Amino acid sequence: MPSETRTIELPFTTRTGCRIRPAPAGSARPPLLVSLHGQGQSGARQERWITPAVPDHFAAAFPDGFHKHEVRRPGRPIRLGYGWYLYTGDQDEFAASLAESEAALWRIVDAALEALGADPQRVYLSGFSQGAYLTHCAAVRAARRVAGWIGQSGRLKAEFLGAELAGVAGKAVLIQHGRQDEALAPTAAEESAAILSRNGADVTLRLYDTGHIIAPEMVVDMRAWLEAREPA
């Protein structure tokens, strides 16, 4: 089913679009997947990559990041890309930007739940790269709001979370990472999985012979993971 595009007003410099995909007609309060793209990408791109991973009985949302910017690459047209937070290397500013983005993300989730008639007890987050950083932090700090989450090619910022990690006990987490990831070594995924496991999360770690991408085999495993937790 083709997605729709909704625009949700948020306290950033630009408006935020969120593409949504309803569950099949007649589905009562379906589970919801909210999937976050990587730096410089968009909800539309994430939708193309992740839609095959979304079980047929799920509703899904693919928001644009909250910070719009030009993406320029040699030999290619200028396009608009989006980021989830601002990072300059200053850790205090980074933490503040993440917290602001987490609050805005939950407003997106609430809007998608209402628009799609989805079940607030069966919300799953997923994120790739920069989207994975935000997914991990948002899910840990508001673990009561998620049934589980998926982090692809990102890292759990455990140093920002502290005692909040205790809330992940019993939560389902899938961590996916490329063994040849040129942007972030796979040890980041292994360390993230270990921290979450020590705090009681039900963690599945999958490493792939790929770089910093959402590879087709990651999509297949993501769908199987979601179907195992939310059978049709």
CATH number where 86 lies: 3.40.50.1820
pLDDT for the residue numbered 18: 86
pLDDT for the residue numbered 1: 54
Report the domain count for the chain: 1
> Phi and psi of 129, rounded to 5°?
55, -115
pLDDT for the residue numbered 88: 82
pLDDT for the residue numbered 14: 47
Domain range for residue 172?
Answer: 4-229
Average pLDDT of adjacent 10-residue blocks, the chain of 232 residues: 58 67 83 96 94 96 88 80 86 87 92 94 97 97 97 95 94 98 96 98 98 97 98 91
Both structure tokens of 59: 């509703």
pLDDT for the residue numbered 89: 81
DSSP per-residue letters across the chain = ---EEEEE--SSSS-EEEEEEPPPTT--S--EEEEE--TTB-HHHHHHHHGGGS-TT-EEEEEPPSEEEEE--TTS--EEEEESS--SS-HHHHHHHHHHHHHHHHHHHHHHHHHHT--TTSEEEEEETHHHHHHHHHHHHTGGG-SEEEEES----GGGTGGGGGGGTT-EEEEEEETT-SSS-THHHHHHHHHHHHTT-EEEEEEES--SS--HHHHHHHHHHHHHHS--
Q: How far is CA 188 from the centre of its chain?
A: 17
Q: Give the C-alpha separation, 100 to 94, whole Å.
A: 10
Lookup result for tokens 């059978």: 231
